[in-house]
Structure 1
Amino acid sequence: MLTDPAVLNLIAATAAVGVAGAFVVPTTSLFLSEAVTATPLMVGLFFAVRSVAEIGTDIVVGAVSDRLRNRRTILVLTALFNACGALCYTFLRDYYLLLLSGMVCFGLGGACFGQLFAYTRELADARGVDAPFFNGFLRSVTSLAWVVGPPLAFWTIATWSFTALYASTAALSLLAAALCGWGLPDPKASGAAKALPEKALPEKALPEKAGPEGSAADATPEPAEDRPPGMLGMFRGLGRRTALVLGAVVLLLGANAMYQINLPLYVTEDLGMSPQFAGLLLGVSAFVEIPLMVLAGVWAERVGKQWLMFAATVCATLFFVLLPLADTRPFLLALQPLNAAWAAVALNIPVVMLQDSLPGRIGTASALYSSAFKAGMFLGGLVVGTVATWTGYGQVFWVCAGLTAVAGVLALLLRTAPEVPSPVPASTPTPTP
């Protein structure tokens, strides 16, 4: 895969988006608290309101993207909106102007996250690569970005300022837009499938089965009822299994969002440690995630995706129960492998499960996962703001433990939900008309 220019450009684009996110997400709460002088409740509401805007745009963009010929256009536009949002953070210091610009710019730009998932799946199908493995491989690139991003972000704040940090974020988002626009091929085009292994497709079958839907220009047109339903039917075919996966994802990623929002404030305000140490904790966890995320993709079919999900909830609950008890640097660092173990599964496997449950609607499935991620951010923002205001930052982690325990119950219920037949792999030969 590493000799494929398309894969290399996708890695670079994913890394740029990942580092930009690692600059913004863990520093925003500190930015609002120090540069904007916002209260804990205002910080929580900021994340909650912005997440609502991102959920709506994610779902709409995901549904529309399944009916478009080329997903790269959406990737470029959303990356440009992220750049605009970062520029607003660079120059604005008014709470309400930041909230409005964040809702509009990061609300639209946030769809880039889900669309990268969708493009990754399309490219995996076009290349004949195992989807959980390929998705885990690309997600490990994001984890690597989070190894570098948070420590570098807090170092930039300490050495220069928030202005320098968010200007750098805007530059990374512009780089991602350029890579998506000029470096990524169209997986649905016949040329994209030529890099498949020789055993995957006979040469004469390539034009008819270029992508996961066989969407080459000269192929037989799809019946209207088989086409992606678009916005009006975006929730068609969502069964009990899909609902359980989404519920578990919202709870797990809600806990993850609460952790990322709360950690810098907990470390600096309650424990009296430096912001750089908060960045180090996030970086260590992301570093350990990298091999675990690839292994999760390898084990997904052997162990079972639902069992991996349940194991992740157990690790998450144990981590959040122990976290309020950790008041020293060695103890906090020692907990990070446990944190990485559950995050490696929660940030990788559920999106593949959703894509499998909605064959032919990869953009919608990826947008649902991304929206669940933002719903978790919404939940996290509300809880952090209210709980931290009334009881302190340390008590937030007990709420996280409760959420992940409920997610474990939903993961167990997946055993009773019927499996959805997997779509036909892209590497299945198709007769030439």
Structure 2
Amino acid sequence: MACEHAPGGGAAAPASATRYILRSRLLRGAFLSLVISGIGMSITAPQITLFLVEELHLTDSQAGLYFLTNLIAPITGYIVGSLSDRMGSRLLVFRISAVAGFVGWALMAVAMQAWMPFAINMVLLSGAGAGAAQLQAAVRDELNRAPTPADNGVVAVMRTAMAFGWVVGPVLGAVLGAMLGLRPLLFLTGLSILLSIVPLIGARAVPPPRGRESEIRMPQTDEALGEDAFEAEGDAPAASAPASAPAVRTARRRSMVPLLFFTAIYVLIMCGETVKLAYLPLYMDRGLHVDAAVRGAIIGLQPLVELPLMLLAARLADRFGVTRVLMVGAVMAVGAHVSYASAAGIEPHIAPLIVGQLLMAGVIATFGVLGITVAQRLLPDRVGTASSVFLSAYAINAALGGFVGSVGAAWLGMPHLFWIPAAIAALGAVALVVLGRLVPLGRTERR
């Protein structure tokens, strides 16, 4: 009979991730900060295009170019993550980035020239997003310092914090935007990012390990990466340790190739989410003539389902292994876009859309929870860099998804344009199989 084990090696009863979060000042503060950040960012995200068109008088095409500035995010993420790894203070980097985010959104609220939002997003807001990733790195440092039987569950709960913010934020943003106007709404976004510092006042994060060698502590339920997998060029094989040596693993400085490969896989699997957000509401409105209330219910179904599925994904990863759960998520991504693309030929037409939303919720639940964990394990001696680089994929998804949607809409029309992200997600699934064979991503030990 399969049995799960705690880090100490003995059998453990199912552990509550919430209990470990409540016990830790750092984890409690990080959770609340992520909720506040998620609400702040999501109240503006659906309104930014409207602001560019109505307040700065850009055309629809010019407003779409704004999202291309997100392509600077991977570069900023690498710089901020490397700074976090070197400084030895994740929270300091997070606080500096939060202040930069506040300044950026405050400047956006008073912008009068069309070029200003583009410059502000590249210089200030990209840094704010990369800084938020350092909270995930601080959580991983804490779990490495004091592993729990529910590490995957803790990460899952942290991810639900952002998801909760994105459930509440768009509704709140629509109401506040109508009441206050778009410019005050942008300022409120900056204020919320600044307020995300408050829950972490007094919290102390574990200093990240520095140098070429660092002790990497992983729960027994996860398979450590091979010592020689994708080693940095020029590293010589380590001599075999004597049998009497302590059971402490040291990792040489690793190559970033596996991390970049995994991040690229995530982009392939998730780029269709931007296509869906842009074109599914249009298809339901213009193609199916669905009532606004029904459209809102179908779009809002996904984030509601994501919350419980994130916790389920963590439990399944503990039981069946990270790689298997991620593969299921990749297959669900293909299925979701196939469902959207098939809507025109199935009665009632909204049924495949609902199925697609449920499948896409599973995709985000699996990769949203487990993706950051895998990324951090692929670069365990630079967790801050790993977190920022992986989470910068969100910005790449937005840019790539916008391009794919534009080409698909002109070439295939709606809803057939969703065959393109289905094919791209299938390519990502194949690439995930290849990476899983080259580098073990994690497994559950059994007896």
Give the deviation of 1:344 after TM superposition.
Answer: 0.3
Distance 1:324 1:18, change over 3 A: same
Give the deviation of 1:172 after TM superposition.
Answer: 1.0
- Could you say which residue in structure 1 is the equivalent of 2:213? 226
- Could you say which residue in structure 2 is the equivalent of 1:74? 93
* Distance in structure 2 (CA, Å) of the matches to 1:336 and 1:110: 26
Distance 1:418 1:56, change over 3 A: closer
Give the deviation of 1:112 after TM superposition.
Answer: 2.4
Aligned positions of 1:145-294 closer than 5 A: 145-180=165-200, 182-188=201-207, 213=209, 224-226=211-213, 237-238=254-255, 241-263=258-280, 280-294=297-311
Give the deviation of 1:385 after TM superposition.
Answer: 4.3
Give the deviation of 1:166 after TM superposition.
Answer: 2.0
Distance 1:272 1:420, change over 3 A: closer
CA contact (8 A) 1:146 1:282 kept: no
Q: 2:336 aligned with 1:319, yes or no?
A: yes
Q: 2:325 aligned with 1:308, yes or no?
A: yes
- Aligned partner letter, 1:226: E
* Distance in structure 1 (CA, Å) of the matches to 2:212 and 2:370: 29
- Could you say which residue in structure 2 is the equivalent of 1:341? 362
* Distance in structure 1 (CA, Å) of the matches to 2:333 and 2:442: 30
Q: 2:378 aligned with 1:361, yes or no?
A: no
CA contact (8 A) 2:330 2:363 kept: yes
1:237 aligned counterpart, secondary structure: coil
* Distance in structure 2 (CA, Å) of the matches to 1:399 and 1:289: 24
* Distance in structure 2 (CA, Å) of the matches to 1:421 and 1:317: 23
Distance 1:46 1:385, change over 3 A: farther
With 369-378 and 143-152 compared, the bigger mean Cα shift is at 369-378
Gaps of 5+ in 2: 1-19, 216-234, 236-251
Distance 1:406 1:26, change over 3 A: farther
With 263-272 and 14-23 compared, the bigger mean Cα shift is at 263-272
Residue of structure 2 aligned with 1:352, choices 369, 373, 389: 373
Give the deviation of 1:61 after TM superposition.
Answer: 0.8
CA shift digits 1:79-131 (9 cap, x unpaired): 12222332244333643222122222212112123212211211222342343
Give the deviation of 1:257 after TM superposition.
Answer: 3.2
Q: Percent identity?
A: 25
Give the deviation of 1:301 after TM superposition.
Answer: 3.4
TM-score in terms of structure 2 length = 0.75
- Could you say which residue in structure 2 is the equivalent of 1:19? 39
Give the deviation of 1:59 after TM superposition.
Answer: 0.6
RMSD across aligned positions (CA): 3.3
CA contact (8 A) 2:108 2:116 kept: no
Give the deviation of 1:136 after TM superposition.
Answer: 1.0
- Could you say which residue in structure 2 is the equivalent of 1:104? 123
- Aligned partner letter, 2:27: V
Distance 1:332 1:114, change over 3 A: same
- Aligned partner letter, 1:306: T
CA shift digits 1:390-422 (9 cap, x unpaired): 665645533222221111111222342132799
CA contact (8 A) 1:264 1:275 kept: no
Distance 1:127 1:378, change over 3 A: same
- Aligned partner letter, 2:376: Q
Distance 1:407 1:421, change over 3 A: closer
- Aligned partner letter, 1:118: A
- Could you say which residue in structure 2 is the equivalent of 1:134? 154
- Could you say which residue in structure 1 is the equivalent of 2:403? 382
With 98-107 and 279-288 compared, the bigger mean Cα shift is at 279-288
| Count of aligned pairs between the two proteins | 383
Distance 1:96 1:64, change over 3 A: same
- Aligned partner letter, 1:173: I
2:88 aligned counterpart, secondary structure: coil
* Distance in structure 2 (CA, Å) of the matches to 1:113 and 1:91: 24
* Distance in structure 2 (CA, Å) of the matches to 1:299 and 1:389: 40
CA contact (8 A) 1:133 1:294 kept: yes
* Distance in structure 2 (CA, Å) of the matches to 1:343 and 1:292: 9
